[in-house]
Amino acid sequence: MLAVERSGSGTPVLCLHGWPGGASDYRLLTPLLVDVADVVVPHLPGFGRSFTPEDAMRPPSDFDRDHIVAALVEVMESLSLEPAVVVGYDVGVTTAVALAREAPERVRAVVTGNLLGPSAMGPAALDLRRRSEYWYQDFHQLELSSRLMDGNPAAVRTYLEHFWSHWGARPEAVVDEQLVEDYSRPGAFSTSLNWYRSGTSTLYGALALADGGPVPTPVDVPASVLWGAKDPLFPAEFAPTAKELLPRAEVQVLDEVGHFTPIEAAGEMAAAIRSHLRL
């Protein structure tokens, strides 16, 4: 089973981290909820304390969205969690929506950061005017990315610092020494890239839709989307498309927030979560 961080008591709140990220993404949010919620933060497959050296030998398909959802259901069953408010940003966004779709009886509500609806995925990821923002998803397909970074703390730090400074509107808040340590272990950086190599990243989703693939079905759950307007990956112009996947969502655009919503907007995210605890 996945390793988890757990604290507080009350209605379960399941927090899903992103890339580059880990359970420490919720270090500021958790203290704002423990008085009313049982906050559970899994280390997703291949990340943090869930990573083992054997993971580096497994195929990327073992780390796709379906496998992550199955691992999360196992966590919820093992911990006997009642329906939870599921929280996510980045990788955790589409995973939260998929969990609500596949196991609706386990999800009380969904609270996410920036969430691209199907109509926005192509314009966001495939438009030539914006492709430069998605270079890393191509780079992560290459063995070169592993050879340059894996097991090299200095290289890992430099790489993570790029995303913290470019994606984060408040870079001083998002720097995380724990992530540098976690991603620097031999095999850990390469394993983290399996999300992109497994075919479940934004780029693959956009390509599938462009090829006439099925459009993801909406999920009918209470939801809140907190949209960081300074996120260069998902500009605020795409915020209305979130309702294509979460039609009951309240979408709130946060002007001075970037990509790392749980860190840059911990107070706003905590307020949104608390509103769903009162349902």
Domains of the chain: 4-277 (3.40.50.1820)
pLDDT tens series, the chain, 279 aa? 899 999 999 999 999 999 999 999 999 999 999 999 999 999 999 999 999 999 999 999 999 999 999 999 999 999 999 999 999 999 999 999 999 999 999 999 999 999 999 999 999 999 998 999 999 999 999 999 999 999 999 999 999 999 999 999 987 788 899 999 999 999 999 999 999 999 999 999 989 999 999 999 999 999 999 999 999 999 999 999 999 999 999 999 999 999 999 999 999 999 999 999 976
Q: Tell which residue, 88, 90, 82, has the closest CA to residue 200.
A: 90
- Supply the pTM of this predicted model: 0.96
